[in-house]
Amino acid sequence: MSHPYAPHGYRTVTPYFTVKDANKMIEFAKAVFDAEEISRSVASDGRVSHAEARIGDMIVELSDASDRFPPRSNTLHIFVADTDNSYRRALEAGAVSLYEPADMPYGERSAGVEDPFGNHWYIATFLGGEGHGYK
């Protein structure tokens, strides 16, 4: 093979969100996680047929739901520099708390939210130590 099997900047597994309002999902990711929009393709009916955004060192893909591809919820664990700040920003952007920030025995400060699209985000900052495969 003369070229890589995945585009530059992509990981082997790339989260894909199918939501009722992809435009609002992109704005949520920007507001909470400082996402950088990479691309957005809009169909003739105005739906987002495909979009990509970078969150930290990861790319996520998303699109508007349709009859063929109904909305689905996902659960993601995301590392951030400041759990408390990202948690606060998520609530300000319309998320609902699943659990407040707390130091966990496995070496993370962690919080959980459900975004306005039904996705769960486990927001964490690594505190050091061992556990969950950390070395």
Reported pTM: 0.90
Dump pLDDT digits (tens) for 83-99. Answer: 999 999 999 999 999 99
Q: What is the mean pLDDT of the chain?
A: 94
| 108-114: strand order across its sheet | 75-79, 120-126, 108-114, 96-103
Greatest Cα-to-Cα distance within the chain, rounded to the nearest angstrom: 51
131 band by pLDDT with thresholds 50, 70 and 90: low
Delineate the domains of the chain, giving CATH numbers in brackets.
Answer: 16-126 (3.10.180.10)
* Backbone angles phi and psi of 28, in degrees to 5: -60, -50
Of 3-7, 29-33, 97-101, give the lowest mean pLDDT range.
Answer: 3-7
| 48-55: strand order across its sheet | 16-19, 58-64, 48-55, 36-42
Q: Which of 122, 102, 116, 105 is nearest to 21 (CA)?
A: 116
Q: How many CB atoms lie within 10 A of CB 18?
A: 19
